[in-house]
Amino acid sequence: MTKLTSRRGLLFGAAAVSAGAVLTGCTSNETDDGGDKASANDQPVADDKPGKQVTIGYAGPQADHGWLNAINDNAQKRAEKYSDVTMEVTEGSNDTAQQIGQIETLINKKVDVLVVLPADGKALTQVGLKAMRAGIPVVNLDRIFNSPQAYRCWIGGDNYGMGLNAAHYIGEKLKDTPDAKVIELAGLDNLELTKQRTQGFDDGLKNYPNIQKVARQAAEFTVESGQAKMAQLLQAQSDFDALWNHDDDQGVGALRAIEQAGRDDFLMVGGAGALSAFQAIKADSGVLKATVLYPPTMAASAIDLARALGQGKGVSGLAEFEIPSTVTCYSAVVDKENVDQYMSTGFK
């Protein structure tokens, strides 16, 4: 069910790269007599057919948030889909020391490939290096290690792109509104990703000189903080045209505050892709008109990549023999027009 969207990140990149490959292939074939058969089309690529048995070690996050829970869910469901994949799953953890211990155990068990969403990318770099030195390729999921030597492949979301796309969506909606005002309900301010989301948003808004960001408050990615901070923002800003909220989970609280204040004079764009947000966008009964994705399906894609690594295969649609070293998922804007397509990826 998640196949279409989980490969989306890959396919977008693949489309561009393979278009180039086809072009060069055509021009070279005109003069080539076909003696060299090492063309991309002959390389084994990962597909759904059972292949070599692969044991994947998975060290995921503690699921104390809707999105993180969806990450673990996506990984496990995808692994169950393949008859040739065995998954060794450690208990989800937010604790650096605990996760290092878990990954060392997986290294000692000699799993074929590791998929790690680190509690803290910087702090876990050493154990990533250790796994790579032990000959176990690491698929680094989302929070990135400090050194490229610590992973074979990184797949994650585009925080800057979330902000950028949110700004573009709002910009297009408000481009005919003179002196438009927007406000921002950010996530946890001590996270790097929050700064990236805000930076992308600010950069995106620069394309629309008629729009001014008049306020920004940081919440804590929780419903409670979302409600409290949004209630204050609404009191502070009696008149604005659009709101960007970094996270759909805290958005549940923010929407509650908006409802309690009886406000409906602006449009709201969420972030991440929660099921409740998709449903609200589809119903189109409130201020929430769109959400920018930070797809938890990247965890399913990480399992796909780990399996391909374990079986020594490439990726369908790409000319290269190997899987790419980095894959950045696209932060698509989901609004009423395309929400049905994404509904099945929404997390609770």
Partner 1 sequence: MTQHVSPPRDGTGKAAPVDGPPAWRVQLGRADVRTLTLLGVLAALVLIGGITQPDAFLDTRNLQLVLTQASVIGVVTVGMTFVIVSGGIDLSVGAIVALASVWATTVATQEYGFVGILFTAIVVGVGCGLVNGVLIAFGQMVPFIATLAMLASARGLALQITDGRTQVVTVPSVLDLGERDAYVLGIPPLVLVFAAVTVIGWLVLNRTTFGRRTVAVGGNAEAARLAGIDVRRQRLYLYLLSGLCCGIAAFLLIVLAGSGQNTNGNLYELDAIAAAIIGGTLLTGGRGHILGSVLGVLIFTTITNIFALNNLQSDVQQIAKGAIIVAAVLVQRRTASTH
Total residues contacting partner 1 by CB under 8 A comes to 40
242 DSSP assignment: E
Q: Does 120 bind partner 1 (CB under 8 A)?
A: no
CB of 201 to partner 1, least distance (A): 15
Q: Per CB under 8 A, which region of 202-210, 250-258, 296-304, 312-320 contacts partner 1?
A: 250-258
Pick between residue 224 and residue 337 the one whose CB is nearest to partner 1: 224
Q: Which two tokens stand for residue 177?
A: 């509104």
Q: Does 119 bind partner 1 (CB under 8 A)?
A: no
Q: Does 265 bind partner 1 (CB under 8 A)?
A: no
Q: Per CB under 8 A, which region of 101-109, 136-144, 166-174, 229-237 contacts partner 1?
A: 229-237
Q: Which of 168, 229, 307, 313 binds partner 1 (CB under 8 A)?
A: 229
Q: Does 276 bind partner 1 (CB under 8 A)?
A: yes
Kindly write out the interface string for residues 62-91 of this chain, putting x where it contacts partner 1 by CB under 8 A and - elsewhere.
Answer: xxxxx-xx----------------------
314 DSSP assignment: B
Q: Which two tokens stand for residue 309?
A: 């690594």
Contact 180, 211 (CB under 8 A): yes
Extended strands (E) in the chain: 54-59, 85-89, 113-116, 138-141, 153-156, 180-186, 211-218, 242-245, 267-272, 288-293, 326-328, 333-335
Q: Which of 81, 122, 256, 263 binds partner 1 (CB under 8 A)?
A: 256
Reading phi first (left if > 0) and then psi (alpha if -120 to 50, else beta), residue 216 is in beta
Q: Does 344 bind partner 1 (CB under 8 A)?
A: no
Q: Which two tokens stand for residue 147?
A: 């050194």
Kindly write down the DSSP assignment for every residue of 14-79, as one continuous string: HHHHHHHHHHHHHHHHHH--S-----GGGS-B--SS--S-EEEEEE-----SHHHHHHHHHHHHHH
Contact 328, 156 (CB under 8 A): yes
Pick between residue 47 and residue 259 the one whose CB is nearest to partner 1: 259
Contact 218, 188 (CB under 8 A): yes
Contact 289, 259 (CB under 8 A): no
Query: Which residues ranging from 186 to 225 are in contact with partner 1 (CB under 8 A)?
Result: 189, 214-218, 220-225
Q: Does 336 bind partner 1 (CB under 8 A)?
A: no
Q: Per CB under 8 A, which region of 28-36, 142-150, 151-159, 228-236 contacts partner 1?
A: 228-236
Task: List residues binding partner 1 (CB under 8 A).
Answer: 62-66, 68-69, 189, 214-218, 220-229, 231-233, 235-236, 238, 249, 252-253, 256, 259-262, 274, 276, 348
